[in-house]
Structure formats: structure tokens, C-alpha cells
Chains A and B, each alone.
Chain A
């Protein structure tokens, strides 16, 4: 992203304006470097693991790895890129990596894929969340040029094995089942549950809701008060401010709320804030991991506003799996790790112990702790990799 400087228009005033802008950017300078060191800290934690060697997936063919993110403008994207780059460093055959972010702009995403092919990428890992199925045409074109493409994190549709190598992701329906089962136990199998979703019609929420609705059928005393249509939900756009607004409206409608389910950790923290401000009891919350919601849990632990929390990993580490599969495909090496993975709970305040929520107040609110905390053994167990594989 280029931020062009504006040329002076009227000498004195524009000089003053420029000075103000400089001051604004300068004031951020120290914090920006801190953020950098924070990221570095996270990286060094993982980099401490044995890096490289000729791993079973790496092969010997020189690789130019294209990394594309349909978004690229949030903490989740940053963590994902970091995971991908760490995995790429393990393979000496990867001679070059090219990173392209689309900023959720479909046109940029499609031209980004084309530019990766034009720059000689022979393996591409892509998060097609700028347009989902609309990005499939670009992916097909890359595949037609002999590039091994592995989409992950957002389903582009199409046919794995034909339009691209394979699709790597969690199983959102399984996640819905896991959340709903935990919530049912935490609610003693009765009460009103509120489900808050992301943008209208998105595939992730549809999958999650299918699992939630299916599971709650086993608990007749639990009512999903925000509706049981798998394709419709209160829309928060996964935005904390919008989540606060939506939750405020729902508080009015439902005087008794016994459980909350939503697929965005940071927005869950905003929802907890609304409940607390309204003086309402905070029910058990099942969501995706985020440092901020874990810290909200920790802040309230032992107080009258304490609540139970369960999260599933933000799954940025699956970017590593996507790299392994793409590079292995270039070399014609069979990679038998799972592509679609059912994730267990990463944090569970009820179970406690190692599963107690992990708050690190020195890390950003949108830090995804599972990337650093899940052991290699656990990850191998999830992906079905051979023991000892890195």
C-alpha cells in the first residue's frame, strides 16, 4: 500500500499540515517498533523449534512460493502470514517468497493471483476471502499454468484435485458441534442461547450454525432464541462496535440469556462488555480464541461478573499445512496429512489446568496464542502427521 505524500498547495498552511501529519506519524513511531518487537517475540518462540533440514515435504525442486491473502489487514492475517513464512524457512528449496494482500478487494485479489503466476511462482498458498468462489477463476487459471495452488482458511468452492491441489481448513460444522456441546454442559442443558454471526450469508457461519443446530436438537430445554434458520443470524460483521450495537438490541428483547455463541473472539469481548455495562449476568461464552477475550475472562475471574469461556484455535497454523501441501505437490511427493480438520477446544475455563484461557497482557488484543502454545505433538495429532514430523 503506497501512501503518497500530498504536495504543498499554499505554502505556509500546507507546511503546517505536513508538520502535523509528521507529528502524528512520529508519535506512532515508538509504538510501531514495539509492535515489531512483539511480533518478533512470537516468532522467536516458534523459531526455537528445529528449523529446516530436508523435511519429507520439501523436496529438491527450486520453489518460488506465492503467498496471497484476500484480506491482509487484521491481526488474523498477520499471524497467518507469520506462520506461513516460518514454515517456508524450513525448506531450503524455497528460494523466494512473494507476498500479495488484496485488502478484501476482489479485483485486487484476482490480479494478485495473476501477478504471482507472472512472477514465476510455482507454488501458491492463498486465503481466498476477498470473494470466496469469485476467486476460483483466478485459481483455476494458475492451476492451468502448472502452478500448485492450495487455498486455505476460506472455501473457494470448485473441485479439489482438479481446480487446485486441495483445500485446507477446519471443519466449521464440527466447531459448531464442539461449541454447542460445551455450552449445553455449562448451561446445565437448559436456557436461552444467543448466536451472533459475521457478515450476512458467509459460509463459515452457515457451517458453524449447522453444527450448533444439530447438537441442540439433543437438548430440548435449550432454545436458540436468535432463530434456527441455518442461513440467517444477527449480523455483526465480526466487528466489535457492531457487535456491541447488536447485543444492546438483543438485551432488550431477551431478558434472560444463558449462553452466547459467536465465531469471533474480539467481538465476544465487546459483547461481554455490553452485558457488564447493562448489569446483566455474563453467561458462558463459546467463541474463537483471541487474547482480548481471554484477558476479559481473566479480569472478571473471581469477581461477581466472572463467566465461563471456551474457545477454538484461530487456526493460523494451518497456513503451515497449506505450505507443506503446495510444496510437496510441486515435487510430486504425496502428503497424507489431513486437509479438513475437526478442532477441539483450545481453551476451556471449566476444565481449567492447561486449558485455562491464556491471557498475555503484553501481547495485542488480536493475538492468537494457540500458534505459540499448541505443542508439535498436538499439531501432529490434529493433522495426522507422522510422529516427529516438523
Chain B
């Protein structure tokens, strides 16, 4: 009996020590910060981090929303529209008057929720593919931005919002702290509450979830609403940081949010995800930006390096490392060597399905 318990404990510890899908990004981030000073001196200095962290925070908040949608087997292309709409509303509604900030935030929240509801209904009730539904709502949101602003953001954000964006707490930018708080809260909700576990189950296996009596559509719709609120929050914070956001301020954030999610290890096949790993992915991308800029490399070189690292990061994730390492040097060049292209893609969905299987059983019970 005692032997069994200790074996279970040892197995548990071994499992925890093994690299999971969400650990690679931590290693990559640590490595990046370690080599940053060599690539660009001062790029991990206090002033550099202080300048980079607010942008990392904004990206992380938007990427949390993308994670939720990806967990529900979707891909959200409404990030630019919702972020831009939020930035436009929080600038136009107060018209420079700090007293109207609360009203502006309410309007932003309602508009974002409306975007999420429309996408959610299109996906869950009408069976529209998430890509198409989010693309449509993105176009509507960008159209609303033009309608609302008349083609030009004619104000700066209210002074109180601008001051908030510039604030630091104990030397740490408040926007970064907000991102940490959001990521922590969402992570706790996902892992420590029944609703969170069910959310993962719905993403991993909607059919099983339906059999288990879970209101699948409600969770899916909730994912789109929560995601839209995340994008809106990111849009408001971006406006607070820049004071006078451009008309389509959210445009540069679509691909980085997807890259942060995938680099973080959340499977595009849905199910298990980690908002913490996504946030680390956002931090990684922001620091990479900063280092490349600070290294003084040509803009073309910057794009090439950035693209290569992201592609490499995503590609390496799909290599079945355990199998490759087990086969050892020399052996992999044999039978397995003939099909390196086919194996990763065939192998990649397996960990997700395997990981979600116990969850399904647990929920059905």
C-alpha cells in the first residue's frame, strides 16, 4: 500500500517535471532575456523594460481573449476591429472631458459585448465558421469606427485616462500589472472552478460535453463575449498609452495575438490552453521587438528575424521530441527519417486529445 502511494507520488512528480506543451515558451523567454544584453546593450535595463512592459501588457490582454476563442476551436479575426472601436469610443465619447470617462468605459464595454454576442450567435446558432463570423464583425466594427469618428480621431483621450496609462506602481507600469491581474484571474477561473473545467471540456470535445449535459452553446458564446471584452480593454489601454490613438489602432495586433497563443502552446485544435503561457508568449514577442529595434538592425532584417523565430518556435513545437530523443542519434535517420514532414502534423493533435480524455471521463462521471 505504502509502496503504491510512493510510486504514485513519484509518478506525479515525474509527470510534473516533464516538459508540457506550455513550458517551452518559458524556456524561450528566459533564453531571450538572457541573450538580450549581448544583442543590444541595455535592452533589459530598467528604462527599457519600463518602456516595453506596457505594450507587452496590452498584447497579453488581447491575447488572453484570443486564447479563449482558440480553446473553443475558433480563431478570432475581430481583434483589430474591436480594439479600434474601443479606442475610438473612449476618445470620442468623453470629448476630452475626464468626468465622462466612466460613461465612455460603459459604452465601450457594451459595444464590445455586443460584438461578442453577435459573433457567438452566428457561430453557435447559425453554424457560421468562426473565421467568417469574426471577419464579418471585424468589418462592421471598423465601419463603425469610420462612422463614429468621421474618418479622424478628433480628440485626445481624457487627461485622467492618459495619466493612468503612464502610471507606475513600485516602478512597474500599471498596464503590465493589470495584465498580470487579468491573466491570474482567468487562469484561476480556468483551473480552479467547475465552470473553467467545463469550458475546457467544451473546447476539447463538444459532443462529449453535450452528452454530459453541459450547455455547450452558452460556453462558446461566453468565450466570444469575454474575448471581445479583452480586446476592448486592450484598445482602451492602448488609447491611454498613446493619448491620441490612430483610427485603426488595433490593426497591428491581429497576428501577434495569434502568435502569442500558439507560441504559448495552446492547441489550435481547441481544448486545453494556458492564458499564463499566452501572456509569456506576448512578453516574448514584445521583448523580441524591443531587442531587434535596439540592436539597430535594418527594418527588413528585423522582419526576417522576427518571422523566422516565430515560425521556428511554432515548428519546433510540432516535433515529437519524446520520440525523437528516445530513438537516439543515428536511429532517427532510418525509417523515421523518410517522413519528417508527415509526422509532426500527424502527431500534433494527439497530445491535446490524450490530455483531454481524462477530463472528459471526469466530467461524465
Interface residues of A (CB under 8 A from B): 1-4, 6, 9-10, 13-14, 16-18, 20-21, 23-25, 27-28, 30-32, 34-36, 38, 72-75, 77-78, 200, 226-227, 232-235, 239-242, 244-246, 248-253, 255, 266, 269-270, 273-274, 277-279, 292, 364-366
Contacts and interface: CB of A to CB of B under 8 A. Distances in A.
Given A32-B148, A278-B47, 16 more contacts: A14-B117, A16-B114, A23-B110, A27-B103, A28-B92, A34-B95, A200-B300, A227-B298, A233-B299, A241-B246, A241-B252, A248-B293, A249-B292, A249-B294, A253-B41, A269-B243
Contact of B293 (A17, A233, A250): A250
Contacts of A365: 153-156, 244
Contact of A31 (B41, B93, B156, B298): B93
Contacts of B158: none
24 contacts: A16-B114, A28-B93, A31-B93, A35-B150, A35-B154, A72-B151, A234-B299, A240-B246, A241-B252, A244-B241, A245-B293, A248-B55, A249-B294, A250-B293, A251-B48, A252-B40, A253-B295, A269-B243, A270-B242, A274-B51, A278-B47, A279-B47, A292-B244, A365-B155
Contacts of A3: 140, 143-144, 146-147
A20 B242 CA distance: 27
Given A32-B150, A200-B300, A232-B299, A20 B51 contact: no
A18 B121 CA distance: 13
Contact of B244 (A1, A31, A240): A240
A246 B292 CA distance: 10
Contacts of A4: 140
Contacts of B156: 292, 365
- Centre residue among B52, B151, B249, B292 by max chain A CB count within 10 A: B151
Given A73-B151, A240-B246, A253-B40, A245 B55 contact: yes
Q: Sort A-B residue pairs by CB-CB distance and give the 10 closest, nearest first.
A: A249-B293, A248-B51, A3-B143, A364-B154, A20-B110, A20-B114, A24-B111, A17-B114, A75-B152, A252-B294
Contacts of A73: 146, 151-152, 247-248
Contact of A2 (B89, B117, B143): B143
Interface in B107-158: 107-108, 110-111, 113-114, 117-118, 121-122, 125-126, 140, 143-144, 146-148, 150-156
Contacts, number: 197
B217 to A, nearest CB: 10
A269 B51 contact: no
A248 B48 contact: yes
A358 to B, nearest CB: 17
Chain B interface size band reads 35 or more
Nearest to B143: A3
Is the contact region of chain A dominated by helix, strand, or loop, or is it mixed?
A: helix
Contact of B242 (A21, A74, A244, A279): A244
Contacts of A28: 89, 92-93, 148
A249 B151 CA distance: 30
Given A21-B114, A292-B156, A9 B140 contact: no
B262 interface: no
A235 B117 contact: no
B307 interface: no
Contacts of A366: 152-154, 244
Contacts of A17: 113-114, 117-118
A240 B294 contact: no
B117 A16 contact: yes
A38 B154 contact: yes
Contact of B52 (A31, A75, A200, A248): A248
Contacts of B298: 227, 232
A363 to B, nearest CB: 9
Contacts of A251: 47-48, 51
Interface of B: 40-43, 45, 47-48, 50-52, 55, 89, 92-93, 95, 103-104, 107-108, 110-111, 113-114, 117-118, 121-122, 125-126, 140, 143-144, 146-148, 150-156, 166, 238, 241-249, 252, 289-296, 298-300
Is the contact region of chain B dominated by helix, strand, or loop, or is it mixed?
A: helix
A248 B93 CA distance: 30
A252 B45 contact: yes
Nearest to A35: B154
Nearest to B293: A249
Contacts of B40: 252-253
Contacts of B43: 252
Contacts of A269: 243-244
B2 to A, nearest CB: 56
A159 B152 CA distance: 33
Given A31-B155, A78-B152, A252 B146 contact: no
B238 A30 contact: no
Given A1-B143, A73-B151, A241-B246, A200 B289 contact: no
A242 B58 CA distance: 13
A27 B121 CA distance: 25
A286 B136 CA distance: 42
A252 B47 contact: yes
A18 B140 CA distance: 13
B92 A364 contact: no
Contacts of A21: 111, 114, 144
A252 B42 contact: yes
Contact of A13 (B92, B108, B117, B147): B117
Nearest to B298: A232
Contacts of A9: 118, 121-122, 125-126
A277 B55 CA distance: 14
B148 A25 contact: yes
Nearest to B120: A13
A32 B92 contact: yes
A31 B104 CA distance: 12
A255 B140 CA distance: 45
B249 A241 contact: yes
B247 A253 contact: no
